[in-house]
Chains A and B, each alone.
Chain A
Amino acid sequence: MNESVSRRHFLSRGITGVSAVWATAHWPALLAAATHAHQAAKSATPPKFAFFTTDEAKEIDAITSCIIPSDDTPGAHEAGVVYFIDRGLTTFGVDDQKTYREGLPELQSRVAEMFQGKSRFSELTPEQQDEFLHSFDDQSQPGRQRRFRTSPGAQNFFETLRQHTIAGFLIDPDYGGNRDGVGWKVIGREREHMFQPPFGYYDKGYPGWEAAAKEETKEAEKK
């Protein structure tokens, strides 16, 4: 997914009368591979990767694990995000293959520039990994020193990977990805297909339209 497109659509939400859902109109076609990711992530034996080498998969897993880390709750690793991306790149996401083919080596050569004697992201300490990924932060962001001006290729790769990681973590588990619904557990989304009121904290005990209107009138009179 092209960054300028996704960003433009994100920004366009500010004005267009277009709702959030259309911000996703430019989702990477790669998302369509989720079913496989679901199966792969569920099976006990790790499947063979279709696009990545084992080494590359290790790198992707490490980066996605920084984007959505595993802390006291599951992260991208537990959700099987790397399998989701791998499968996607050989099916509906073939257009993104180039981004990964060129982007990952470029990213790794940046690793070598920043940290002597290291050539893989997964070899870095957690602190070094964070420092490295901060070099991709928006230049306009205030108060952050950038050690390197990253090239557009690596930047685009990181942004693509970021979006794919989010998708692989939060996609509806019924349709693949998001192993065991861990992503939904993290954000507090229940798995039921239909719901009944009260939905949340604030509509509990709602007295009904007319009663609520009277309550407010009484309150206004008190004042």
Chain B
Amino acid sequence: MARVELMDYEQALELFEPVIGLEVHVELNTETKMFSPAPNPANEKYHGAAPNTLVSPVCLGLPGSLPVVNGEAVEKSISLGLALGCSIAESSRFARKNYFYPDLAKNYQISQYDEPIAFDGEVEVELADGRTFQVPIERAHMEEDAGKLTHVGGATGRIQGAEYSLVDYNRAGVPLVEIVTRPIFGAEGDAPELAKAYVSTIRDMAISLGISEARMERGNLRCDANVSLRPRGAEQLGTRTETKNVNSFRSIERAVRYEIQRQAAILAKGGAITQETRHWHEDTGTTSPGRPKSDADDYRYFPEPDLVPVVPSRERVAELRAALPEPPPARRRRLKAEWGFTDLEFQGVVNGGLLNEVAATIAAGASPAAARKWWTGELTRLANASETDAASLASPEHVAELAALVEAGTLTDRLARQVLEGVVAGEGSPQQIVDARGLAVVSDDGALIAAIDAALAAQPDVLAKIRDGKVQAAGAVIGAVMKAMQGKADAARVRELVLERAAAAE
């Protein structure tokens, strides 16, 4: 293969505007498949089943078999469509996409063509620095997955050079929703990050809706990235490539960046981009050409005559809409305003992945400031030290209880940190730890005064300095008192009493 030339990323952006388009396939976690009663391997319950054990005459494409639409898949598709801000079609139709391939049992895929279930949406996507983009959604349509080929023999594990191939039809007929964006303009140098953040947003959405296991490593979520470049100032879009097999968030970002650099190098030399499918190679961080798109463009779509149109009732769509969880960006905006955080404070919570923990801690009674302080401060420090997530160290209820003890004066910050260590060590609730370790602040002035008088008596030179007005000398006495009280005293109160007793002493 000829060596691929890449242009420096910054230089590429100076010369060209990147335009991206994303196709995301979401495997639904329904009980049965899209058109057959066979169990669905994209449901956690059936994951990992032996090859060709989750099949029926329908997913094997046996002569005489007929598809029947899975109502659960339709409802989950509608929920996803609504979450994407789409309109839901009053009547939606399936179509056959005809092409021969041995993983496609019928040699046509039942998909949707001109009448998708959901269309015209918009998704708000947030970048790491807090800026947001509106990604326009063209459509979300229902279809069935193909089976899985394993190529045996040959060096590459690909079909070329293989001795023979095995087919597993377990995946054949798994319900998919394909979400297609419109071309995304204006992301500029952030296009790779936006692509990643978009897929991440779809994943969050699928999880909060409960419609998919949404695990990229299992192929529950798959992304094809379309990239094209146009010279600065040009109106017409450039020729695009479609990069497939991008199976992690990190590789989405890398693949888009790679294609921008690769295409820029070709275009800058006066070359032309071939419209084609390209494969992403995780190991080398490169893409290589697949089949040219024009070869297989004619899928001879026509309405699926074995199925009647899907006509969702408006009442049911309204119910599904009412049941939608709040979209993540809107929730973030609402919480930031409610809590009165600065941009910097809020970003600290979000980037630490602690939004849900802080929210739950506040819901359990803590002040926003205290909740933020404990999670992004001491708990994050402990988490970093033990290379784990802060969220896994303590429950929001315990953090709220701790904050309440500090608020009531029962604990000083220093004592509270000790209590928190006990919570993390699994010793119980903060109150239980305070009781067990006897860590509460001593608020009995009598006990303090006795300790102070003893300390002053032991250090007459210090007493003399204090009485001469050298107030800072009091520190030595305060330190001695705190030591005598084993730290369980409020230092400010001790200081007040030290000055009082020094003045009174004769």
Bind each other: no
Q: Which residues of B contact A (CB under 8 A)?
A: none
